[in-house]
Chains A and B, each alone.
Chain A
């Protein structure tokens, strides 16, 4: 069955770089798009960016200067890197799947909590 699982450090120091991994199973990264969505504690959802099935990327303009999304298809992994972290980046980070031509997320990972410490 379709699964997405996020992994990464739970605690990161301010000004450092966050690296997260989304490991997928049950589908191919070359057939679906994968996005990252985050949710600060007690707040709403924010789309960060995506890597398309063909390997190109799209980013939220508010994060574009700090964010990089890549993938390793041989490992079925999508990688997120975001630099210059601030305490406001404290959030649960989710990876999500969307189908070709589908403008919504049909599967979500369980999420990983990241705390940015000053």
Chain B
């Protein structure tokens, strides 16, 4: 099973700051997927195929990476971005990262 390790586990950012969330895989994966989950709600697809934004996702979000290292970046964070972000791979048995909780100061 491929283990996905996200960092940081929690973070706080001020509006306008640049934010990067990292997801490291225990073995190489072909693509990475990202979901946004707001408190009390189900998850939403946010980024697919490593760098493609899901429908409706603001273009201040971007995804990148390859092999065992992937990242989600917000160029200028806004208050509505407060959420937990999960990475996911399906190169072998599907696994999720443990999540990164983003708080806005």
Point out residues on A near B: beta carbons under 8 Å.
35, 44-47, 60-61, 94, 102-111
Contacts and interface: CB of A to CB of B under 8 A. Distances in A.
Given A94-B42, A103-B33, A45 B96 contact: yes
A105 B87 CA distance: 12
Interface string B68-105: 00000000000000000010111101111111000000
B96 A46 contact: yes
Contacts of A103: 31, 33, 89-91, 94
B19 to A, nearest CB: 20
Interface in B22-50: 31, 33, 35, 42-45, 48
Contacts of B31: 103
Contacts of B33: 103-104
Contacts of A47: 93-96
B43 A44 contact: no
Given A45-B86, A61-B93, A104 B98 contact: no
Contacts, number: 48
Contacts of B91: 103
A109 B48 CA distance: 19
B44 to A, nearest CB: 7
B54 interface: yes
Contacts of A102: 48
B86 A44 contact: yes
A74 B91 CA distance: 32
A82 to B, nearest CB: 17
Contacts of B54: 106
A46 to B, nearest CB: 7
Contact of B42 (A46, A106, A108): A108
